[in-house]
Structure 1
């Protein structure tokens, strides 16, 4: 009777442990989805701020057209090309906004763009941290062997140039 009780106890403890691991993986995947939603919102906010600046008639027409085209392309990008197009928008922002001689009327737009660009950087950092934690947890032999992650896809990092422009304004 003692051996049977010990086996049952070990099986119950193993069941609790496996349940805990599966729940932890589920929470990690949920964290990745939540962080992706925050990153997506930050990218859209930055794109909207750039479009507002481009429409405000405070930049020269060529610069406004280039920024608007880059923001529109990034907004409409598919999943596979979004990293590249968001990086291209970051580069265009730095090229246009780090120039000297921007009019004072551009100051509110610059503050909005700088703030949203910093938000993109933070959101991307949090997202990539969540992806790294999830991937680390999924590397375990136990998780792979018992398929504790179920059919959830392995999350991907989001790599882009997200350095905010230095505008020289507060």
Structure 2
């Protein structure tokens, strides 16, 4: 009779652990997807601020190129997005951003928010991929309903105001 209680206790503990792991997989994937949406939102805000900056300074020699890079980042499809965002970052680094002007301050602040959102997204994707690689998760296929999260690999978007 004692061994039946032991087996039942073992099954209950095992089922509780598997349920906890499945919940962790679901939560990490949901957080990674949410961080991806937040990163996308911050990238759009930065591109819009860069377009406003380019429109505000039509006499600048790089204003047309900056505007084109901002529009390309706004209009990019998912597979071209990283390259467009990297081009925009390179164009923004060429600009002499004055934090005293509202447009310059907006671009610098948006770039800082992009850097923070990218770091959060990278950390959550790393955690989701780590939990996907655990043997129990692979064995029981607890990640089958979630697409594999992917890193968004862009240059460091932090800008330094002059």
- Shorter chain as denominator, the TM-score bin is over 0.9
- TM value normalised by structure 1: 0.89
Partners of 1:167 and 1:21 in 2: CA distance: 45
- TM value normalised by structure 2: 0.93
2:28 paired with 1:4: no
Equivalent pair of 1:90/1:161 in contact (CA under 8 Å): yes
Unmatched runs of 5 consecutive residues or more in structure 1: none
Alignment of 1:143-154 (within 5 A): 143-154=137-148
Instruction: Indicate the residue corresponding to 1:156 in structure 2.
Output: 150
- Consecutive aligned runs of 4 or more in structure 1 exceeding 3 Å deviation: none
Q: Tell which deviates more after alignment, 145-154 or 131-140.
A: 145-154
Partners of 1:120 and 1:15 in 2: CA distance: 41
> CA deviation digits over 1:119-142, x for unaligned, max 9?
000100000000001111111111
Shift of 1:59: 4.4
Aligned to 1:81, what secondary structure does the other structure show? helix
Partners of 2:31 and 2:14 in 1: CA distance: 26
> CA deviation digits over 1:29-57, x for unaligned, max 9?
1110111111011101101101111222x
Instruction: Indicate the residue corresponding to 1:87 in structure 2.
Output: 86
Alignment of 1:1-170 (within 5 A): 1-56=1-56, 58-60=57-59, 62-97=61-96, 107-168=101-162
**How large is the Cα RMSD of the aligned pairs?**
1.7
Partners of 2:48 and 2:75 in 1: CA distance: 12
Equivalent pair of 2:39/2:118 in contact (CA under 8 Å): yes
Aligned to 1:32, what secondary structure does the other structure show? helix
